[in-house]
Amino acid sequence: MPEQIQLADAVILVGGFDGTFRAANWARISKKPLIPVASFGNAAAQIFEQELNDFDIHYAERIDKLDFQDLNSIKTDWNARSAQVVALAERLASSNAVCVAMSYSGRPDLEDAYESFQAVCEKDFKYKCERVDNTNTLGRILPKIQEKLEQAAFVIVDLTELKTNVLYELGLAQGLKKPVVTTAKVGTDLPFDVKDLPTIFWDGQKKLKEDLRAKIALIAQMQGR
C-alpha cells in the first residue's frame, strides 16, 4: 500500500495516466473515497465514470449525487473550484452513518432501545442510524453487514441478548477500528471477554438517551461534527 494512500482520508485525482489508475485501485482496496476531477480528461475522467456507476454503493449515504456529478463540469474560477473539491473530499471522508448491532428477537424493550438510538443519533447529532436485518437487504446478510460497518462513523452494539450475530458484528467493528458504543439492559451478565468494555447499562429509555448523548458527543467532537 503506498504511504500516501494509506495515510489519506480521501484521494483526489486530476488527469493522469497509468499511475492514476493504480492509485485509484489502491484507494478502492483501502476503502478510501475517490474524488476524480473529470473535467481535465484522461484517467480521472474514466475513473469518474466508474465511480458514478457505483455511486449508490459507496457515496449515497454521505453526499448528494448532483454534487458528485459536478466533478465533470467545466469551470474557469479555479480558486473556487479547488475549494469546492476539497470541501467535497471532507464530506466524503466523514461518514454520517451509524450501524446498530443488536438482537432481532422483537422484544418490546429492545425495540424501544433501538428507537432511542435513532432519536439521539438523528435528532441530536444528525447521524443516520440504521440496523441491518433480513427485512431490508437481499441476498446474503453478512456481506451487507460488513459493508455497513465499513461505512459507519461509529457502531452501537446492544449486548442485552448475546446472540452470535451481535458478537460477530462487535468483533468485526473492533477489527475495523470503528468507535463502538456498547449498551445492555440492567441485569445482563456479560461474558468475561466483553465485560471490560465501558458499557451503558439501561433500564428506562430516558436514562439510556442521556448516557448515549454523552458518549456520542465525544465521538462527534472527535470526528469534527
Domain shared by 39 and 81, yes or no = yes
One pLDDT digit (tens) per residue for the chain, 225 residues = 899 998 898 999 999 999 999 999 999 998 899 999 998 899 999 999 999 999 998 888 788 899 999 999 887 788 888 999 999 998 888 888 999 999 988 899 999 999 999 999 999 998 999 987 644 445 567 777 888 898 899 999 999 999 998 999 999 999 999 999 999 999 999 999 999 999 999 999 999 999 999 999 999 988 767
Asked whether 212 and 200 are in contact (CB, 8 A), the reply is: yes
Asked whether 13 and 20 are in contact (CB, 8 A), the reply is: yes
Domain shared by 168 and 78, yes or no = no
Domain shared by 102 and 71, yes or no = no
Domain end, chosen from 27, 60, 93, is at 93
Domain that holds residue 24: 3-93
CATH number at residue 142: 3.40.50.450
List, in sequence order, every residue forming a beta bridge with 12; answer none if it has no partner: 35
The pTM is what? Answer: 0.70
Residue 178 CB contacts under 8 Å (≥ 6 apart), including other chains: 149, 152, 154, 155
Domain shared by 126 and 164, yes or no = yes
Closest by CA to 25, choosing from 52, 7, 43, is 43
Total domain count for the chain?
A: 2
Domain end, chosen from 93, 118, 139, is at 93
